[in-house]
Structure 1
């Protein structure tokens, strides 16, 4: 039998909501890494699955179901060794390249700019392109933007038309480098901020295609990087600045397994995941010094759990299974983003298919949806909805002498007037009774869905792809202006109030 804590009192403030939760918080990241692009989105002609050209359409359909808002490409570390002209024109004439960051494999560049933007068109999502600052030139980046966005007469538009695209794509989200403190060039923040100003000054706005330029921001808790960039670049010259933080169950050299882990590993991952709250608060406070009006978005464009690769797979491909633990990580992190949506206005989970905390895993023609995918399915109700602030004191999940918050909650009101509340119970041993008191909203009924499993280490497999999936939740009831919720251990719940 599970233990039960005393009832948790939660106030949901529905009076005059002011802050919108951007749908772009629910974005994704697809790098030329392992089997994310090649043998993920982009498959061989002989693969017996529905395709458009070589884009795998069952994957497209699955991502459209969760209303994927944006897709970041081509990296990651790969972005700063990628030269875009190698990926245009007749595929048989494109030069091959070595992916030095991820496994040393040779790529044929058959998936390039046109293929990526066709994928985004099929997904009905916005492209987010990471430009090459590390090994590229100002001219190279400037001409890529012209190729993508200009509709007049120029050498780049003529080249684009020769390659089969008459009209510009009007790409808006533009990353000026990636991880410039590390694989993107080993730069200091002062040097990078000067480079950003140089590169971005030649990243032009063309008619109908204003760029949302995004600076390469801090690695985890490098607050000096944020301070330097905010001071040297300034809020008028960038739409956003990035933050990267990966959940680890141990450390960088002891990441732990994706399956078969014990409760100590589970607790370690939850503690690492919850660090995101501190990071956003502290980076946000620095940003507030230079940008009190919050014009610059904090763009968390790499997040998720990073574990050891699956045994027997290429260590450079970063292929890992996806467990009930990972669903809890996704739910907790997305609640944090929602509650900080005044500053966090874009994020990208790493990565979409077959890499790190993937939404989808494939094995030849087979495809499965991970527990993390199902969390994004539940949470899509928050896209562009108005944030309803929540106040509560979470019970603690204790392991040894350490403890973390056991419950994570966010709430919103959509354009039709419906209120949605998402809750995650991180504690795998304790059921929590929650009393949600709503101010400023009348309702008479509640419906819910839940994701849970017997163990935090449970996974979906190709033999049992539906072991973990959303089902109807019957543990919520209405009593006047209160919703009483019996929140099982190790669970993610979405409630809809009508």
Structure 2
């Protein structure tokens, strides 16, 4: 009985191998598409929990090494990611933020209650000048979110004047008195945030009228005019984009959209960040298809109302959101970051690349210690999360030219009633001239083999990095050896075929040679 069973097992193994070999990724390098804007890899820092205070800002007097209050170790780690842009001060916090409370001597700034996040004291130590110092240290652009919820058109207009005015107005001179002679470079400015919810619970038609009203008074020198951003829809609702793109015609360059991912697919309960079954692994990753469909619908709306493609889509809040970490302040949005989050990020990147003609910015929520963070800190220590490493793998795609990439015979990954394509891929020509390919294997238990073809030819070799781990919820914890770190990866063509061997639950990004 043993011999037939062994023969059957060998036959099944061969059949699986043959099936895997038939999976093919075809990249058409002679059909360049839109540029993948570097700001698709943008970041988000909100006054929320320890996302800024403690996590990044410790103050100039701290014993933790810092530059003018910003932690050296955190800034150095973020610079390695080539962070292109930072959105600040929120989020929901932005619509209770009054900019005048965050300028001048820090010891004289008012202390308020952060009623949005955790009910803790907000001492306004990080304000306009500190934020621009951070983006300068990072070499990033500034995306400032204005307060429509509790502010006024005058307050918003005066903040822009304070930041951008060149002459000798009272506000420009106040900026100089506070230590910054030249105007700040404001690349992007949002008129409100989540106006459908925490930003005012508005209807889209009401907000569109408000936007037209407020935008009338938003004036800057022409050489320092930001791109103005309207607050758009949430999840799969594209009504906001439709109304705005039909009715607003000036000081209007982009529409934001927000969507988070929960294992349960619903707001409450969301599901745990770690210790989850495979059913929650696939339920999480499969929901990225909703992001793809939402962007497809949003692009269709804008193509109808804005055929010249003047308006851009900024997906400026996205990422994983789980039940609060036990023992933490629920308002601090503390959660663990695991291998699942790394794959979730990479799947988002592949979708954003596919919509690069309209999507020119996205912002993961958030940079440090909050939601799907890049970095976790505790006192003077830090750890790089799996999501950080996913961003690191994909840095070659910043400002790269997208290329069509098609997976033939893509297997279906299924757990219970939930299914999704097993493999996801993207390709682009980097600014360095190299052809880059990124592939995600979402299957938590099975590896895959993928034949890579560029046009009608097989590349000679590829070289890059691989990210995976043994457990679905593998994580990097403070004071412990990291479980999720990239390793070198390369493959050579054999008999005219180049095969990428993809472990279960993995991300591979490679440069194609030859």
Query: In which range does the TM-score fall when normalised by the shorter chain?
Result: over 0.9
Cross-structure match for 2:405: 390
For the 8 Å contact 2:424–2:441, the answer to whether it is kept is yes
Other structure's SS at 2:137 match:
helix
Deviations 1:401-432 (A, max 9, x none): 32111111111112332011011101112211
* Cα 1:134/1:461, change in 2 over 3 Å: same
| Separation in structure 2 between the aligned mates of residue 232 and residue 348 of structure 1, nearest angstrom | 26
TM-score normalized by the length of structure 2: 0.93
| Separation in structure 2 between the aligned mates of residue 413 and residue 10 of structure 1, nearest angstrom | 16
For the 8 Å contact 2:460–2:492, the answer to whether it is kept is no
Other structure's SS at 2:270 match:
coil
For the 8 Å contact 1:181–1:188, the answer to whether it is kept is yes
Counterpart mapping for 1:63-462 below 5 A:
63-234=78-249, 237-250=251-264, 251-393=266-408, 394-439=410-455, 444-462=460-478
For the 8 Å contact 2:468–2:505, the answer to whether it is kept is yes
| Separation in structure 2 between the aligned mates of residue 219 and residue 415 of structure 1, nearest angstrom | 33
Cross-structure match for 1:464: 480
Deviations 1:1-57 (A, max 9, x none): 997653312211111414111000000000000000111111155643220121111
| Separation in structure 1 between the aligned mates of residue 29 and residue 456 of structure 2, nearest angstrom | 5
| Separation in structure 2 between the aligned mates of residue 347 and residue 440 of structure 1, nearest angstrom | 34
* Cα 1:496/1:481, change in 2 over 3 Å: farther
| Separation in structure 2 between the aligned mates of residue 242 and residue 140 of structure 1, nearest angstrom | 22
* Cα 1:466/1:485, change in 2 over 3 Å: same
For the 8 Å contact 2:459–2:498, the answer to whether it is kept is no
Kindly report the root-mean-square deviation, in angstroms, between the aligned alpha carbons of the 2 structures. 1.7
- 1:440 deviates by 8.4
Mapped pair 1:477 → 2:492:
yes
Which has the greater radius of gyration?
2
For the 8 Å contact 1:150–1:207, the answer to whether it is kept is no
Name structure 2 gaps, 5 residues minimum. 1-8
Other structure's SS at 1:227 match:
helix
| Separation in structure 2 between the aligned mates of residue 56 and residue 106 of structure 1, nearest angstrom | 21
* Cα 1:245/1:482, change in 2 over 3 Å: farther
Cross-structure match for 1:21: 36
Other structure's SS at 1:495 match:
strand
For the 8 Å contact 1:450–1:470, the answer to whether it is kept is yes
| Separation in structure 1 between the aligned mates of residue 125 and residue 424 of structure 2, nearest angstrom | 43
| Separation in structure 2 between the aligned mates of residue 442 and residue 483 of structure 1, nearest angstrom | 6
| Separation in structure 2 between the aligned mates of residue 201 and residue 344 of structure 1, nearest angstrom | 26
Between 1:425-434 and 1:31-40, the stretch displaced more is 425-434
Between 1:389-398 and 1:378-387, the stretch displaced more is 389-398
* Cα 1:403/1:18, change in 2 over 3 Å: closer
For the 8 Å contact 2:462–2:510, the answer to whether it is kept is yes
- 1:358 deviates by 0.2
Between 1:267-276 and 1:125-134, the stretch displaced more is 267-276
For the 8 Å contact 2:191–2:229, the answer to whether it is kept is yes
- 1:464 deviates by 2.3
- 1:480 deviates by 7.8
Other structure's SS at 2:315 match:
strand
Deviations 1:343-387 (A, max 9, x none): 111000000000000000001111000000001101000010110
Superposed structure 1 runs of 4+ greater than 6 Å apart? none
| Separation in structure 2 between the aligned mates of residue 90 and residue 428 of structure 1, nearest angstrom | 53
Deviations 1:223-262 (A, max 9, x none): 222211111114x642210110101101210111111111
For the 8 Å contact 1:9–1:434, the answer to whether it is kept is yes
| Separation in structure 1 between the aligned mates of residue 32 and residue 111 of structure 2, nearest angstrom | 52
| Separation in structure 1 between the aligned mates of residue 493 and residue 429 of structure 2, nearest angstrom | 18
Between Structure 1 and Structure 2, how many residues are aligned?
496
For the 8 Å contact 2:347–2:424, the answer to whether it is kept is yes
Deviations 1:272-319 (A, max 9, x none): 233111111111111111112322111000000000121111000001
| Separation in structure 2 between the aligned mates of residue 478 and residue 331 of structure 1, nearest angstrom | 26
Name structure 1 gaps, 5 residues minimum. none
